Structure 1
Amino acid sequence: MFSKKPEPTLPSAAPRKTARPVANGGSTFSVIGADVTIRGDIEASADLHVDGTIEGDLSCTSLVQGESSCVEGAINAESARLSGTVKGTITVRDLVILRSARIDGDVHYETLTIEQGANVNGRFAPDALKAAKASLDRVEDGEQRLTLAG
């Protein structure tokens, strides 16, 4: 009396597709695992999470580097969150250097956050996009933004 018959299922019905994970404005997100070593340059339109080793230059939209990872080459990105080892020049608009990071090379940035305990052997230059873009939007008082995290 109160029971409802289940709706019949069609055997030819296609399985439902699940949504792919996306990051930053709909772009895809790729992971380079801890057991992977790549020798050569990488250019990605996707956001990258690197836990492995890269021996070559790296260019992407957004980079997240794991603590155990190592990049031996230049890094170019819109944003980066570094917590592993980098041996090379870094050119990033928005850069976060975490306390576990070990960087050996010059760092070019527009905005910078460094956690206490990070190790950087190189020069900091607040000019990440000067070559690519002649007029940068500045903070109203004309100073670059630098944040030190504790």
Structure 2
Amino acid sequence: MARQSSPPGSTFSVIGSDVTIKGDVRASTELHVDGRIEGDVACDSLVQGESSVIEGAVSAESARLAGTVSGSITVRHLVVLKSARIEGDVHYDALTIEQGAQVEGRFAHRLPESHAGDRALPASAAAAEDGEPKLTLAQ
């Protein structure tokens, strides 16, 4: 069963490993997903467990992905762990990928919001403040 923290001052919501949700999920705080979501996910911060599956688009300020995502991903700060399997395009501001992660799709660095809102360009065309896209390879 999904456990949502609704009292004032709560900091995250959890979708347990025994839960399957068919439909879009929206959270105003951090969302921990260990189960399966068949729909789009929008939240402030996403933490995905290794056995988790998301079949839909992901939109968040930050995301730490360890499971499977089949859909586009749009985040400011993205960490893709080695257990992650992504099938879809990834739009990011800052990116860290552990060796062994599998991604089938395109990476596109997002332009600063003051210039282009949520538009994205190929990583080779977009640049951060220092002229280079923010990409970190973790070991």
Q: Same fold (TM over 0.5)?
A: yes
Q: Confirm or deny: 8 A CA contact 1:80 1:92 kept in the other structure.
A: yes
Structure of higher CA gyration radius: 1
Matched, 1:148 2:134: no
> What's the TM-score once normalised by structure 1's chain length?
0.76
Match of 1:131 in 2: 117
Q: Confirm or deny: 8 A CA contact 2:99 2:138 kept in the other structure.
A: yes
Q: Confirm or deny: 8 A CA contact 1:81 1:95 kept in the other structure.
A: yes
Match of 2:48 in 1: 65
In the alignment, structure 2 segments of 5+ residues that lack a partner are 120-126
Matched, 1:86 2:65: no
Give the total of aligned pairs. Answer: 124
Match of 1:16 in 2: none
Q: Give the CA deviation at 1:53.
A: 0.2
Matched, 1:29 2:12: yes
Match of 1:15 in 2: none
CA-atom RMSD in angstroms: 2.3
> What's the TM-score once normalised by structure 2's chain length?
0.82
In the TM superposition, structure 1's runs of 4+ consecutive aligned residues that sit over 6 Å from their partners are none
Q: For 2:50 and 2:42, locate their aligned partners in 1 and report how far apart those are by CA, in whole Å.
A: 19
In the alignment, structure 1 segments of 5+ residues that lack a partner are 1-19, 21-25
Same amino acid, percent of matched pairs: 67
Q: Give the CA deviation at 1:27.
A: 5.7
Q: For 1:34 and 1:116, locate their aligned partners in 2 and report how far apart those are by CA, in whole Å.
A: 25
